[in-house]
Structures are given as structure tokens and as C-alpha cells.
Amino acid sequence: MGRGRVWAAGLVTAALALSGCTGGDDNGFRPGAADAGDPYVPGAGNGGYDVGHYALDVRYDPAGDRLTGTATLTVTATRALSRFQLDLAGLDVERVRVDGEAAKHRHDGAELIVTPSGGLPSGRRFTVEVTYGGVPKPLPNAELGDGGFHATPDGAIALGQPESASTWYPVNDHPSDKATYDLAVTVPDGLAALSNGVPEGRTSSGGWTTWRWSERAPMASYLSTLVIGDYRVSSGTHAGKPLVTAVAAALPADGPAAASVARTGEVADFLAARFGPYPFEAYGGVVVADERIRYALETQSRPVYGPAFFRGDRPNTEVVAHELAHQWFGDSVSVARWSDIWLNEGFATYAEWLWAEHDGGRTVAQTVVERYAATDWSRPTVDPGRAGMFGDAVYQRGALAVHALRRAVGDEAFYRVLRGWLAQHRDGNVTTADFIGYAERTSGRPLRALLDAWLVGGTPPGLP
């Protein structure tokens, strides 16, 4: 793509400029890269290290929209580093410590540049503690919609893909660096503070309540969320794991939103019967009332749904099936780069079709005929361009390719491919080439030409 070429040229210039100004040092310590090198999200992510864990301790006061926090990151250097960068947008940094020692830091736009007192050898495990605060803001994004921290009348919603996390904590903000999380979030008594993973209890003191959450499976940063406000929270268990759902108090207690998320466990079981065991330690879902959230997002173990999905009189469980399918496709098995986002969306959309058929709606065959007729074959599913990340070529054409694979190899081999793929790459990162290679090996069939035609070919392949 044109955008990709421009970016690659920019990268070379930046690398030359960096080596020119530092020259490295005698021990080979050099600055970490300023981004993950993903042309779909220039500036996001960083290089030279890998984050293993985030321990976040934040306080949010809706009265002044003020967030204060301490983030403690457990990190491993993947090469000898003289300094490194974290993504942090729009907040002020008070102090940075590396392994408990004060480190020099500079905040340049959305990049926090940290220079520890000594170089970090490759393979060194270290901690970075950042104390920060301010009034968080969303990341403006005209093409894809603003992501990140939105203050609401009763609290806040931090949410967004492909970027959002850097608006509320310092982060290596790219899905290629997944990490586990502990979050303690302190809010005024009476408000809920919802996030990912297992609820670890809450304590109150002096008018403030601290809610604790832990996500023990590696999570991509865009899948982290924080929802604060007036919510009806329902806590139970499903299949031996905590299930926490929440619906904004502004929405009716017996309306379609509540009825839809109430089926979370049932939908997850339907998907687990096809994709293999549910990959996380908790279940859930949060429905927000804020009209600015015009989408649903598969935030790990606890998707967040915008209010528009539940306008009608009837429940909408297709969106629940879509977001829960992402727990396998996208969350557990994540893209290594955004140009392969169909590996998330194509499968989640297909799961939506499977659920609709199971739940008495349209059959998959009917949906395939309809979507096939509506497909613009000039738009590729793989590498659709940044502006096309959330387009029909990724979702609908991607799901058609999944169906074509199913028809080519048969149901038995199809589900064997999906289950094996998800098990083999659990908690990992993958590419389209990985998937095609895996499907060919597992089914024993050559599939490249077929999938090329369905994913990127310029003319309609024969209807499967």
C-alpha cells in the first residue's frame, strides 16, 4: 500500500537520525525503537523490550475529571538499551523509577522517554514505576472514531481500538506485546469501577471505594478497559468461573440490553462447543449508555457494548456472539500486526452467523448468499489499509472466506483446524500466512489459491 511505503521510508530516516545523535556507547547500549513499526498505528508501541505485567493503581475523581496513578511495569529488555519509550498521551508524569532508582524522563507528545541511570543489558528483567496524573482525554481519530478515555456525566469509559490504553496508563501500546494485569481503581463510594478479568474484591475508606481486578492471561493493551459510573452490577459464576455483567443504570433493568448480556454464559458455551475451551478465567460484559460509544469492543473477558445495539424491543445476542467469539479470535490469539485484523473480525463475524442460525434466525447459507451478493471484490480482506480496518472487506468478506474454507475441507476438518489453531497459538500473536499454513497442514489440503481468491482476489470466486 502507498501508506506502507511512505512509512517504511520514514522509519529508515528516523533510525539514521537516532544512530547519528547517540552513536551508541562502548557497551552497545542503544535507544529502544520509538514505535512497533506497524504502519496502521504510526507512533504506537515501542521496541527493545517486552512488558510481562502491568500493576496499575489509579484513582479517578469524576468531580474534576482527574486521574492519578502509579503504574508498575515488569519488563524484559530484548536488546541492550540506553533508554526506552512508553506510550502515554495527555497526562503529566511526576516521577519515573527503574528498579527503584530515579530515572531521567522526558515527555514528548504521546511518548514518554525514559533514560535509566545505567544501560540495561539484553535479557535484563527490570521494573519501571511511573507516577502520573491529570485530566485524561480521548485520542482524536477522524478516520476510525476517537478512542481512549471519555469522561461521562457519572464517571468515565476508557475504550477503543486500535489505541486507547495510552490515555490512562503508560504502556507499550501494540498487540504484539501482550501482558498480564492487576488493576486497583479507586472511585467515590456508590460508583462501580469495572475492568477485565477476575474480580479481586473491594474495600472502602473515607468515602472512596477501591475495586480490584486481575487478568492472568496475557492481554493486548487495546483490550484493557475501565468503566466507571452508575451501573447495575450482577456477579455470579458460570462453568466454575466468575461472571460479572453490568448495565448502565440509565438503561431499563428489564430491557433488551440486560436481556442480551444475561445470555453471556449460554453464548460462550455455544462457542466453546465449536472453538474449544473458553480461554480466560472470567466471563462478563458491560453495557454503557454513552451515545459516543457507537460500537462494541471485545475487551478481554468482559466486552463493552454501546447502547445502539439494544435500541429495539428484542434482545440482540448476535453482537454478544460476535464479541464473545473474539475472546478466542483476537484476544487469546492476537494479530501480530493490524493489517491481519480479518483474523479477528472474519471469524467473529462468522461466529455471529453460526449463532444466529442456532438461535432460530437466518441460516448461514442465507447469510452467505446475501453477503456474497453485496461484496465489493476490489477491496482486499488482508491489508485493507488503515481506513479500511473496520470495513466490510474485513468483516463480511473475511467471514465469507471462513465459510469457503469450511465448504472446501468439510465440517470435521474445519472445526479441527479452528480448535487446533486456537490451542496452538493460545496467548500468542499470529499472521495470515501462519493461518493458511496451519490450515493446509491440518487438513492435508492445498488451500493457498482458494484463500487468496476469497481474501484478496479482484473477481468473485464461485459461490461455495
Closest CA to 46 of 18, 27, 67: 18
Cβ atoms of 383 and 343 within 8 Å: the answer is: no
Cβ atoms of 25 and 119 within 8 Å: the answer is: yes
Residue 214 vs 339, nearer CB to Zn ion: 339
H-helix or E-strand containing 36?
none
Residue 52 vs 391, nearer CB to Zn ion: 391
- Judged by CB under 5 A, the stretch of 193-201, 223-231, 343-351, 415-423 that binds Zn ion is 343-351
- Judged by CB under 5 A, the stretch of 99-107, 146-154, 212-220, 348-356 that binds Zn ion is 348-356
Q: Which residues make Cβ contacts (< 8 Å) with residue 229, sequence separation at least 6?
A: 152, 154, 155, 156, 157, 191, 192, 248, 249, 288
3-state secondary structure of 203: strand
The span from the CA of 371 to the CA of 38, in Å, is 30
Residue 213 CB, nearest distance to Zn ion (Å)?
A: 23
- Judged by CB under 5 A, the stretch of 11-19, 100-108, 272-280, 345-353 that binds Zn ion is 345-353
Residue 191 vs 343, nearer CB to Zn ion: 343
Residue 154 CB, nearest distance to Zn ion (Å)?
A: 27
Strand ordering across the sheet containing 49-61: 101-102, 92-98, 125-134, 66-77, 49-61, 179-188, 208-219, 198-205
Residue 366 CB, nearest distance to Zn ion (Å)?
A: 21
Residue 326 CB, nearest distance to Zn ion (Å)?
A: 6
- The amino acid at residue 169 is Y
- Judged by CB under 5 A, the stretch of 53-61, 347-355, 419-427, 428-436 that binds Zn ion is 347-355
Establish if 319 lies at the interface with Zn ion (CB under 5 A).
Answer: no
Residue 178 vs 326, nearer CB to Zn ion: 326
Residue 220 vs 447, nearer CB to Zn ion: 220
Residue 38 vs 345, nearer CB to Zn ion: 345
Cβ atoms of 339 and 361 within 8 Å: the answer is: no
Q: Could you give the string, one character per residue 170-189, with x where binding to Zn ion holds by CB under 5 A and - elsewhere? A: --------------------
Report the residue closest to Zn ion, judged by CB. 348
Establish if 348 lies at the interface with Zn ion (CB under 5 A).
Answer: yes
Residue 325 CB, nearest distance to Zn ion (Å)?
A: 8
Residue 352 CB, nearest distance to Zn ion (Å)?
A: 9
Residue 305 CB, nearest distance to Zn ion (Å)?
A: 12
- Judged by CB under 5 A, the stretch of 147-155, 271-279, 341-349, 450-458 that binds Zn ion is 341-349
The span from the CA of 337 to the CA of 177, in Å, is 11
Residue 71 vs 220, nearer CB to Zn ion: 220
Residue 54 vs 305, nearer CB to Zn ion: 305
Residue 222 CB, nearest distance to Zn ion (Å)?
A: 12
Establish if 321 lies at the interface with Zn ion (CB under 5 A).
Answer: no
Residue 96 vs 351, nearer CB to Zn ion: 351
Q: Which residues make Cβ contacts (< 8 Å) with residue 65, sequence separation at least 6?
A: 135, 136, 151, 156
Residue 322 CB, nearest distance to Zn ion (Å)?
A: 6
**Location of C-alpha cell 468482559:** 302
3-state secondary structure of 236: strand
Bridge partners of 179, per DSSP, are 219
- Looking at 169-274, which runs of residues are DSSP E strands? 179-188, 192-194, 198-205, 208-219, 226-229, 231-238, 241-248
Q: Which three cell numbers stand for residue 4?
A: 506502507
Residue 67 vs 321, nearer CB to Zn ion: 321
Residue 341 CB, nearest distance to Zn ion (Å)?
A: 9
CA angle, 33 then 35 then 41, to 5°: 165
Size of the site for Zn ion (CB under 5 A): 2
Bridge partners of 421, per DSSP, are none
- Looking at 220-356, which runs of residues are DSSP E strands? 226-229, 231-238, 241-248, 283-287, 296-297, 304-305, 334-335
Residue 33 vs 319, nearer CB to Zn ion: 319
Establish if 393 lies at the interface with Zn ion (CB under 5 A).
Answer: no
Residue 348 vs 405, nearer CB to Zn ion: 348
Residue 394 CB, nearest distance to Zn ion (Å)?
A: 9
DSSP secondary-structure letter at 197? S
What does each C-alpha distance from 95 to 28, 59, 182, 400 come to in angstroms?
27, 17, 21, 51
Residue 348 CB, nearest distance to Zn ion (Å)?
A: 4
The C-alpha R_g of the chain, in whole angstroms, comes to 22
Interface residues with Zn ion (CB under 5 A) are 345, 348
